[in-house]
Structure 1
Amino acid sequence: MPKAMCKKCKILYPLQILTNHIKTCSDVVVVEDGDESQDETLHEAQHVESEKKSNEQACCPICQEEMPLDILEVHASECGERSMDDENNNTTELSCMDNEVSDTAEFLYVDNDWKTHPDPKVAMALYRREILRLHETGKPLLMCMDLRTCAEEQERQLINFYKQRNVEWACPVKCQLEGDAAVGDGVTRHFFSTVLEKLKYGFSLNLGNTGVTCLFEGQPDHLVPSSSQFLIESDLFLVAGRMLGHSFLHGGPCLAGLSRAFVHVLLQGSQDTATLQLEDCPDVDIRETINLLSGQSPLNEDQSSKVLELCLSWDLPGPTVENRRWLYERLLSHAVLGRRVRQIKQLKRGLKDTFVWPLLTERKDVVFFPKESEDSCTPEMLLSHTSWPRESDDEDDEYSADIKERITGYLKHFIETASSKDLKNLMKFWVGWEQMEANMAVEIVKSDLPKSSTCFCVLRLPGHYNSFQSFTKDLMMCIGTCKYGFGHV
């Protein structure tokens, strides 16, 4: 702690207790220079002061606990420090601060391994695990949705949940479906799957006089936030940032297909260094107008009028032969990024609220917003994560090995021939969301229709099927109900 010398006794004290010391300090006689007894006098004065401190009591300025003066200095230098040991007894203080988002800084004590681990996926897992560990004793968050109400009301409940203020989003989560008896991890996965689906494909709520409210618009791998002022003023992109960060913390799905230029700027990249593509502009009319400047052929009167009108609306000069290429780049940059500055700020605030922002700024190699191709579910991936039924000598086994082999053969053939959308629906029906789990298993049971235990990642298939067509028909019917909850066919 910073120290200063008492002008009376010439002894160093921490600044926090120097004021109290001066009130009780007595004058010490200082001998003139050259006196042989100067050192001895000072030593005696210090000894007297030490005895006085051992007998006197004072309060710690930090914790207000009363104790002898002789141990107060040592105590005050350590009082209030916060320590948190991990498995390797190696901790570091990480600033969770974004100057563009908030003027206040939040500090976390997190494991430093995520910063240095060479594998980005492992680094993400380490960071997620440590953040959850730090908040595991916090008050659980209750996510509740009533399946007996209409889709609009269910979505309104989700949005209201993420609009709450002063919430520790890394605390444990408890999810409850009103009107459904399902409980456990499968219900939690269902919530996060529903949240990310609404983010990507839109809400049924009629916000801003639209049939479907889409927070992100455009074509796959070129999605950008909507430019709707109503959505911005409603802080729905703050809600979107919290949804994305909350899903990440609990290992849920992510938002795939965003424009690479938009992701670059969102993660603190410069707008001047973003690589823009014409497809990043979601408005087809504006895109066609900007594209008129991409060639070298002269513009006719109608084309010049369209370009000039767009330029004037965005405070840019009209087109000329000299500024044609420059104007093309400026118009495209404003159409994709310039109109979405407030959306970017809200998304950053939401990611910061969920403690995800330090990971994104420290590890530029992590893929938080993957491309569509990187987020696709392939047959090879699904088959490699599946544990198939084994032969058993148990006499109580419901089906023979031949029947098990036939049914599992149907499932393998279905996985190999199904579309990416059907495979994701199968994943949701199987485990609760479209993320691969390590312990996915298949069982052959006596039942009328396919069922699943999402908490334990077990897919239970009936053994009565004798044709692939009947098996596929029932399976498609079942996996198509995953968005409506559990047990509804």
Structure 2
Amino acid sequence: MECLSGGWMLYKANGGCGTRRINVIPPDSEGYTGSQFKSASASGKTMLYVVPLQEELDLNPLPNDVREFTKMPKATCQICNKSMPLQVLALHIQVCKSNDSTSSNEETEVQFVSENSLDEMKQENFPSESVLPCPICQLMFPVDSLELHASLCGEENLLKSPDHSSFMHNDDSCIADDTTGNSSCRQVLCLEDLLELLAGRVNAENHFRICVSRDNLLERGLKQWQRQKKGNPANQLKITFIGEAGVDSGALRKEFLTEMISGIEKRLFLGQKAKSPQYSNSDLDNGLFRTAGEIFAVSLAQGGPAPCFMREWCYSYLTTGEVDVTRICKDDVDDVEYSLLIAKVEEATDLTEFTDEIISCGYTGALNIEQKDAIIRRAIVLHAAFQVTPMLGDLRKGLQLYGLLDIVKDHPSLCKSLFVPGEDCTPDADYILSNVAPEMSERGTSRASVESKIINYFQDFLQEIECGVCAEDAAEVETEPSSYLTVPRVMQWITGQGHKPLLLSEQKAFQIVFKFDHDCKVRMPQHTICYPIVSACTNTVTFPVAHMTTYEDFKCIILQAIKSGGTFSRV
């Protein structure tokens, strides 16, 4: 490998004695490390393959006198008196015996014998019991050299196979083209692999176009998603907001998915942090839950936020298709009607007044105080859970897009963080400021001092939002309710997305560019005010510093900009 250039990666096969397709071993952020070699090879028990990205390895046997063999134990062949390393001698002996003499150019050459020449091998003193076919190439070899040949044969056949080059340049070459995605060659070792696998299944050559108004975005978005006849949601999503000039290069799609995931959470689910589906026959009949499942899959595959707001028992149903009664307790009931019934039963001294409600939940036992726990756990809680299983069933159908449902079934623990609340992944003020890349003037100038002051104003503004101080100011500019003004909302105003990127590669590349306009009054001497200019496609915001001399001016202008500047147009 001394002269090898163009990069290389490690691959390995998961069992199959070399007959299975090899899968890439992704390097760490700093490249391949010794600990990764040890982990990937199971402490030396698994063979690793070095696969060049732009060249081919020279697979010709090395001469016996090369420096790589100097420290290897050697022995002399008793037939031809050639000295060679023991590993090479094991193969050479068989060749030397069968030919009775060998040239120097054929010292390490393996004799390949076809199945039709088995009789000839018997004549050359190879009994049939000592000859077996190679499981890869099906050629016949002596038993004592078969194992070594098979290991070399597997690597050689893979590198020479006609579909190897396409496999190397396209990891998704054996992923099913349909939307179910039942087959996959990628090895899912972490959440990053899973998301990259989903992204690779998006058909980027065709588009799934949605043209929607910002007014009543959720309902209009769901309807337009269902009415789209010319495209398939497996294609790349392209969004157009009616009346806006913005061209979707990724920011519009992320903004649409952010709004849809948030809207679906509020519209179709009940609960506080962790939620369960809201029972609704009309939503079920209209296919809204299936559409929601498709939107979840598209969001995960195309850079949107993860729908991490479900209860654990709901996620368990998605992975298995069955309700695990051991995972459900009274705290998992989000329906207001059943929650009130549970509270009434717990406080009641006489259960007869709730007979109808309890019986309607399927309870058939005795109605007495001693059976309170059984009534709550076996009747009310389970009835509330089983009532929403049709909604979860439709959601599972939507998750079949890109084969996401199969991936969730195969990797339930890995996918759990995408659906169940865990570590808070919403951006805060520190996250945004740590990813700011300001384009500052020369240090020491008056402009640089003003620009530094604007950055401090922005940090104070975000921290006030976190503390809820900006609620009254938001009301003064007639913006949305105070719950609307959040740090993720500010980030969405600038970048189009209100969530941290899911992919590690996107997290490293994510940054918000601050620019500063010092000359707006020079260009337009008569104007009295102007607002920040946002480019969500490039994650850039330009501040008009001449109008932001004080923090109060800064806050008033930016609040108005967030309220009125969400569209891709000049106002």
TM-score bracket for this pair, using the shorter chain length:
0.5 to 0.7
Any idea what the Cα deviations from partners look like across 1:339-397, whole Å, max 9, x if unmatched? 01210111011110343223222222222124276243222222222222334389xx9
Alpha-carbon displacement from aligned partner over 1:47-84 (angstroms, at most 9, x marks no partner): xxxxxxxxxxxxxxxxxxxxxxxxxxxxxxxxxx9989
**Residues 181-212 of structure 1 deviation map (CA, whole Å, 9 limit, x = unaligned):** 122322222221222232123xxxxxxxxxxx
Q: How does 1:268-417 map to 2 (within 5 A)?
A: 268=320, 270-294=322-346, 299-301=348-350, 303-306=351-354, 308-318=355-365, 319-321=367-369, 323-364=371-412, 365-366=414-415, 367-371=417-421, 374-392=424-442, 400-417=447-464
| Bigger relative contact order, structure 1 or 2 (CA pairs below 8 A, ≥6 apart) | 1
CA separation of 1:88 and 1:325: change in aligned 2, threshold 3 A:
farther
Match of 2:314 in 1: 262
Length-normalised TM-score, structure 1 = 0.67
Q: Choose which of 174, 178, 186 in structure 2 pairs with 1:112.
A: 186
| Residue aligned with 2:558, SS | helix
Superposition RMSD in Å: 3.3
Q: Matches of 2:165 and 2:349 in 1, distance apart?
A: 70
Aligned-pair CA distance for 1:314:
2.5
Q: Give the whole-Å Cα distance in 2 for the aligned partners of 1:92 and 1:363.
A: 22
Partners of 1:84 and 1:338 lie apart in 2 by: 50
What is the one-letter code of the residue matched to 2:184?
V
Q: What amino acid sits opposite 1:315 in the alignment?
A: G
Secondary structure of 1:224's partner?
Answer: strand
Aligned to 2:560: 477
Which of 254, 257, 264 lines up with 1:199 in the alignment? Answer: 264
**The residue matched to 1:374 in structure 2 has which SS?**
coil
2:296 equivalent to 1:244:
yes
Shift of 1:289: 1.7
**Count of aligned residue pairs for this structure pair:** 370
Tell me the equivalent position of 2:270.
217
- Is the 1:444–1:463 Cα contact (8 Å) retained in structure 2? yes
Residue 488 of structure 2 corresponds to residue 441 of structure 1? no
Using a 3 Å threshold, how does the CA distance of structure 1 residues 130 and 157 change in structure 2: closer, same or farther?
closer
Report deviation, 1:242. 1.1
| Cα contact 1:386–1:441 (8 A) shared by 2 | yes
Q: TM-score, normalised by structure 2?
A: 0.58
AA matched with 1:229: N
Question: Aligned letter for 1:300?
Answer: T
User: Retained in 1: the 8 A contact 2:212–2:220?
Assistant: no
Q: Distance in 2 between matches of 1:140 and 1:225?
A: 30
1:113-144 CA-partner distances (Å, limit 9, x unpaired): 3x2x2x32x12332233223xx223x211111
Determine the C-alpha separation between the residues in 1 that align with 2:252 and 2:395: 26
What secondary structure does 1:400 align onto?
A: helix
In 1: Cα distance, 2:492 partner to 2:210 partner: 19
Q: Distance in 2 between matches of 1:358 and 1:166?
A: 26
Question: Does the 8 A contact of 1:110 with 1:131 survive in 2?
Answer: no
Q: Distance in 2 between matches of 1:417 and 1:406?
A: 16
Following superposition of structure 1 onto structure 2, how do residues 52-131 of structure 1 map, counting pairs within 5 Å?
85-87=166-168, 106-113=180-187, 115=188, 117=189, 119-120=190-191, 122-131=192-201
Query: Cα offset for 1:162?
Result: 3.4
| C-alpha distance in structure 2 between counterparts of 1:238 and 1:85, whole Å | 35
SS at match of 1:461: strand
Q: CA deviation at 1:325?
A: 2.0
User: Closer, same or farther in 2 for the Cα pair 1:294/1:275, shift >3 Å?
Assistant: farther
Distance 1:232 1:361 in 2: 23
Q: What pairs up with 1:7-22 in 2 under 5 angstroms?
A: none
Of all paired residues, the percent bearing the same amino acid is 15
Gaps of 5+ in 2: 1-161, 468-484, 502-509, 521-529
What is residue 455 of structure 1 aligned with on the other side?
537
Contact 1:162-1:242 within 8 A present in 2 as well:
no
Q: Do residues 419 (structure 1) and 466 (structure 2) align?
A: yes
The CA deviation at 1:274 is 4.7
Most deviating of 344-353 and 257-266: 257-266
Amino acid at match of 1:486: F
Aligned to 2:279: 227
Aligned-partner Cα distance in 2 for 1:332–1:375: 34
Instruction: Name the CA distance, whole Å, in 2 between partners of 1:182 and 1:89.
Output: 32
Q: Contact 2:515–2:540 (CA<8 Å) still a contact in 1?
A: yes
Distance 1:181 1:260 in 2: 42
Offset of residue 253 of structure 1: 1.5
One-letter amino acid matched to 1:183: V
How many Å separate the matches in 2 of 1:196 and 1:431? 17
Unaligned ranges ≥5, structure 1: 1-80, 98-104, 202-213
